[in-house]
Chain A
Amino acid sequence: MNGRQTNSRTSALSFRAKRGICSSILCLIILSFCAFAQNGGELHFCLRTEPKTFDPLLVDEDASLSIRYLTGGVLARVNRQTQALEPELAESWKVSADSRQITFKLRHGLSFSDGTPFSSADVAYTMQRAMDPALHSSAGDSFRSGTGNVVTKTPSPDQISIIFPAPIVGLDRLFDQVSIMSSHSPKKEKAVLGPFMVADYKPGSSVRLERNPFYWKKDPQGRRLPYLDAIVLDIQPNRDVEMLRFKRGELDLINVLDTDYYDRLASTSPQLVHDAGPSLDSDFLWFNQVASAPIPDYKKAWFRSTNFRRAVSAAINREDISRVVYNGHAQPAVGPISPANKLWFNSSLKPEAHNPQTALDRLKADGFQMRDGALFDKTGNRVEFSIVTNAGAKARERMAVLIQEDLGKIGMKVNLVTLDFPSLLERISQKFNYEAAMLGFRNVDLDPNGQMNIWLSSAENHAWNPQQKAPETAWEAEIDKLMRAQASTSDMKKRKQSFDRVQAIVYEQAPFIYLVNQDALSAVSAAVAGANPGILHPQTFWNAERLTLNGTASARR
């Protein structure tokens, strides 16, 4: 699913150590920043699509998300490097024992970007608006664990209690996604609490953000943040052009860099590129297990057989994919959670080893036979199926070509069909007229509770067989039980136990055949000081208020 989860919950986990060269260079940069940094300058980078909305509660795609991150003030922020939840607009907070209530103590004397004072009334207004069923805010939906209204109590301008109708796991971390809006400013959503505010929007062209003069944060020396005067976001969907402009010095950052460009840049200017290690993203393949799908019955029988799916998984050479498609900037994946998610990853699982012989043995157990290099099932049908994927993702298309050859070696004939995204979506979510599909998942959320709609058999995003009336297999029933269990307790150990078991079942049954976890690659120009690229979005500008441009760059502009 090219879906993205917009709530980012984290837990205190130590980040994987960066490669030595990168960290020492970054230390040098940070030191030089202290010595040479100047205030001001404009940071330039690209948005890949047109931002659809500036209303922080309705944001659900990348471009708007980036703008919201830079302009919105939140009560508590997940630090993108340490993944700890840190106070922002709130000085402190307390979650009740039943996970239904959270009380924030807010900072005193803050103002919105137009001077309107900030108080608990604004938080209450934001929460009520987010939970308004007529608004359909995806940020609000994360809080919707049960029916009923949310109650907000504001005993003083600095204190607010929010009471939800049902317990919510990881309640405090969800507030990273709630950007506080003003309840009475005449500028409505244009009044913001973040380091920058939207100054100009040229549709189709660019978005200009300027320093918020009322931003409350100060650096340790007492200077007002942000250091930058402005950030200019150009709308540029084409990655070749983005790369070109970065090389020419017109752009300062590339937030998510393709492997090809990473290597090209690294060969000439290795200090500009950053590989922050495995990201949370994964690509995977799955087979259509919908009972009513318009595909031949004998194919349905193949796809519903665990042996068949595990055989396909064993036949795929993930090492080759990492090496050939990603040039080493990826690792074989084992499940929905990437090893970068240290807290939730089930470390007892190892990626399925590439072993065509194991694959053939598993197939034999199901009655498949090889004849003249082609595989036939027990009723004599040639094993041939199609994999649909979306066009335009070069890495995925290359992966598909490698998989096609790998499966060809065990006698399966694979046809690759690249489709435009809406046609693909219609096939996999409405008509179910597909056999196998390959997509990627951009995981923004560390907490697996955000993935309920994928693992519950009754849910819409349960890709291989969505919206089942009752679980059709024993293992799916077990996953349902475990997911509900992890959602009903705040005890981390119990939750991890349940979800570890979910990962183990997913590994054994392979409804999704996970391929690789890509590394988080990014590029930062030498003009920028203070960048510390990580794996959580926004990878390069998560600390935008502390970024500076050194003298040479400002002069050039």
Chain B
Amino acid sequence: MKAARVLAWIVVAVVCALALAANWLAPDGYAKQFREVPGSPPSKAHILGTDDVGRDRFARLLYGTRISLLLAPAAAFVSTALAALIGGLAGYLGGIWLKIARAATDLFLSLPWLFLLITVRALLPLNVSPLVSVLITFLILGLLGWAASARVLSTSASALRNSDFVLQARAAGLHGPRLFLVHVLPNLKPVLYAQFWISIPVFILSEANLGILGLGVAEPLPSWGSLLRELEGLISFREEPWRLVPLLLLIVVMTSFQALLSQEEVTA
């Protein structure tokens, strides 16, 4: 529906604009603590209230959007590319490559990667800047997140290997990488786009959960994930409904992304 796509573009544009304009919209910054009013409800001075140590929630949402909105899709892209490469290529090549890829993927899905993450944290210097820390976190998430969809892709790609139009393309003289990129890969789009779209919120939330291992954003830098984690202590949403705003914003943005992607997902 054209109207839906237009609306989605507007939403995404507005959110990006707000994030970029954070310096003007929230001049006090995300770290300033208004210690006289910790945990306060929305007011004129603080549109979304303040958090537990008195920082303006609206400012933190804006600055957090910058980080999460930029890095999560980038990490999702990395994991999708890896899935396409490993799963898709192995499926396409078939034979021993397929077997190896499947075994590797299954193992990958089962290992406790928590310990790798803990080790990564230990290898990083203690005084690494919060930005570098979050960059590394999202990079690792991207590098670890390919396994599930790679498995599905290997099945898709191996089915395609023997399909009519690939045989036709082969007969027409197309071989190797070009065959893969031009004929096989586009047909893997349903799975790839699905993975890309799912990975974004999954990575945003995972980044926050990694905070307990010392990865992810470091205080006082905010991210959507850390804002969403604040919901955990909320026993009743009726008490402080404004705390749901980051979640609603994320849902709206994700739905908009989906509306934008939906055309691509199904065309070959």
A residues adjacent to B (C-beta < 8 A) = 240, 243-244, 247, 260, 264, 320, 323-325, 384-386, 388, 391-392, 394, 397-398, 400-402, 404-405, 415-420, 423, 433-435
Q: Are B232 and A240 in contact (CB under 8 A)?
A: yes
A394 to B234: give the CA distance in the assembly, Å.
Answer: 14
Q: A324-B38, A423-B118 are in contact. Are A418 and B53 (CB under 8 A)?
A: no
Min C-beta distance of A401 to chain B, whole Å: 5
CB-CB under 8 A from B118, the residues of chain A are 420, 423
A435 to B127: give the CA distance in the assembly, Å.
Answer: 10
CB-CB under 8 A from B233, the residues of chain A are 240, 260, 394
CB-CB under 8 A from A244, the residues of chain B are 235
3 shortest A-B CB distances, which residue pairs? A391-B212, A386-B126, A416-B219
Using CB atoms, name the residue of chain B closest to A413: B127
Of B52, B213, B218, which contacts A398 at CB under 8 A? B52
CB-CB under 8 A from B212, the residues of chain A are 391-392, 418, 420
A392 to B53: give the CA distance in the assembly, Å.
Answer: 17
Q: Are A401 and B219 in contact (CB under 8 A)?
A: yes
- Given A323-B35, A384-B127, 11 more A-B residue pairs with CB atoms under 8 Å apart are A240-B232, A243-B235, A320-B35, A324-B52, A392-B212, A394-B233, A401-B219, A417-B218, A418-B212, A420-B118, A435-B126
CB-CB under 8 A from B122, the residues of chain A are 423
Of A243, A392, A401, A423, which contacts B121 at CB under 8 A? A423
Min C-beta distance of B137 to chain A, whole Å: 13
CB-CB under 8 A from B33, the residues of chain A are 401-402, 405
B190 at the interface (CB under 8 A from A): no
Q: Are A324 and B214 in contact (CB under 8 A)?
A: no
Min C-beta distance of B198 to chain A, whole Å: 27
Using CB atoms, name the residue of chain A closest to B124: A417
Min C-beta distance of B222 to chain A, whole Å: 11
Min C-beta distance of A353 to chain B, whole Å: 17
Q: Are B235 and A419 in contact (CB under 8 A)?
A: no
Of A240, A388, A394, A397, which contacts B235 at CB under 8 A? A240
Q: Are B121 and A324 in contact (CB under 8 A)?
A: no
A-B contact pairs, 12 of them (CB 8 A): A323-B35, A324-B38, A324-B54, A391-B211, A398-B53, A402-B33, A415-B126, A417-B214, A419-B121, A419-B213, A423-B122, A435-B127
Of A392, A402, A416, which contacts B218 at CB under 8 A? A416
Min C-beta distance of B38 to chain A, whole Å: 5
Q: Are B126 and A418 in contact (CB under 8 A)?
A: no
CB-CB under 8 A from A397, the residues of chain B are 219
Q: Are A405 and B211 in contact (CB under 8 A)?
A: no
Q: Are B235 and A264 in contact (CB under 8 A)?
A: yes
Q: Are A324 and B35 in contact (CB under 8 A)?
A: yes
Min C-beta distance of A326 to chain B, whole Å: 11
B11 at the interface (CB under 8 A from A): no
Give the bracket for the number of chain B residues in contact with chain A: 20 to 34
A264 to B235: give the CA distance in the assembly, Å.
Answer: 10
Q: Are B121 and A415 in contact (CB under 8 A)?
A: no
B31 at the interface (CB under 8 A from A): yes
Min C-beta distance of B20 to chain A, whole Å: 26
Using CB atoms, name the residue of chain B closest to A436: B126
B residues adjacent to A (C-beta < 8 A) = 31, 33, 35, 38, 52-54, 118, 121-122, 126-130, 211-214, 218-220, 232-233, 235
A418 to B212: give the CA distance in the assembly, Å.
Answer: 6
A535 to B212: give the CA distance in the assembly, Å.
Answer: 30
Q: A324-B54, A398-B53, A415-B218 are in contact. Are A385 and B127 (CB under 8 A)?
A: yes
CB-CB under 8 A from A392, the residues of chain B are 212
CB-CB under 8 A from A401, the residues of chain B are 33, 53, 219-220
CB-CB under 8 A from A405, the residues of chain B are 31, 33, 220
CB-CB under 8 A from A385, the residues of chain B are 127
Q: A260-B233, A404-B220 are in contact. Are A418 and B211 (CB under 8 A)?
A: yes
A420 to B210: give the CA distance in the assembly, Å.
Answer: 10
A419 to B118: give the CA distance in the assembly, Å.
Answer: 9
CB-CB under 8 A from A435, the residues of chain B are 126-127
Q: Are A419 and B214 in contact (CB under 8 A)?
A: yes
Min C-beta distance of B46 to chain A, whole Å: 15
Q: Are B219 and A404 in contact (CB under 8 A)?
A: yes
CB-CB under 8 A from A416, the residues of chain B are 218-219
Min C-beta distance of B12 to chain A, whole Å: 32
Min C-beta distance of A434 to chain B, whole Å: 7
CB-CB under 8 A from B54, the residues of chain A are 324
Using CB atoms, name the residue of chain B closest to A431: B122
Q: Are A400 and B35 in contact (CB under 8 A)?
A: no
Q: Are A417 and B126 in contact (CB under 8 A)?
A: yes
CB-CB under 8 A from B38, the residues of chain A are 324
Q: Are A386 and B127 in contact (CB under 8 A)?
A: yes
Using CB atoms, name the residue of chain A closest to B129: A415
A243 to B130: give the CA distance in the assembly, Å.
Answer: 34
A400 to B126: give the CA distance in the assembly, Å.
Answer: 15
Using CB atoms, name the residue of chain B closest to A416: B219
Q: Are B213 and A400 in contact (CB under 8 A)?
A: no
A402 to B52: give the CA distance in the assembly, Å.
Answer: 11
Using CB atoms, name the residue of chain B closest to A390: B212
Min C-beta distance of A254 to chain B, whole Å: 14
Min C-beta distance of B233 to chain A, whole Å: 6
A388 to B118: give the CA distance in the assembly, Å.
Answer: 14
- Scoring A247, A320, A394 by chain B CB atoms within 10 A of each residue's CB, the highest score goes to A320
CB-CB under 8 A from B218, the residues of chain A are 415-417
Q: A244-B235, A324-B35, A417-B126 are in contact. Are A423 and B214 (CB under 8 A)?
A: yes
A323 to B33: give the CA distance in the assembly, Å.
Answer: 13
CB-CB under 8 A from B235, the residues of chain A are 240, 243-244, 247, 264
CB-CB under 8 A from A388, the residues of chain B are 126
Of B53, B130, B211, which contacts A402 at CB under 8 A? B53
CB-CB under 8 A from B214, the residues of chain A are 391, 417-420, 423
Q: A401-B219, A420-B118 are in contact. Are A434 and B211 (CB under 8 A)?
A: no
Using CB atoms, name the residue of chain A closest to B233: A240
Min C-beta distance of A7 to chain B, whole Å: 32
Q: Are B53 and A324 in contact (CB under 8 A)?
A: yes
CB-CB under 8 A from B35, the residues of chain A are 320, 323-324, 402
A416 to B221: give the CA distance in the assembly, Å.
Answer: 11
CB-CB under 8 A from B53, the residues of chain A are 324-325, 398, 401-402
- Scoring A264, A388, A417 by chain B CB atoms within 10 A of each residue's CB, the highest score goes to A417
CB-CB under 8 A from B127, the residues of chain A are 384-386, 415, 435
CB-CB under 8 A from A434, the residues of chain B are 126
A416 to B52: give the CA distance in the assembly, Å.
Answer: 17
CB-CB under 8 A from A419, the residues of chain B are 121, 213-214
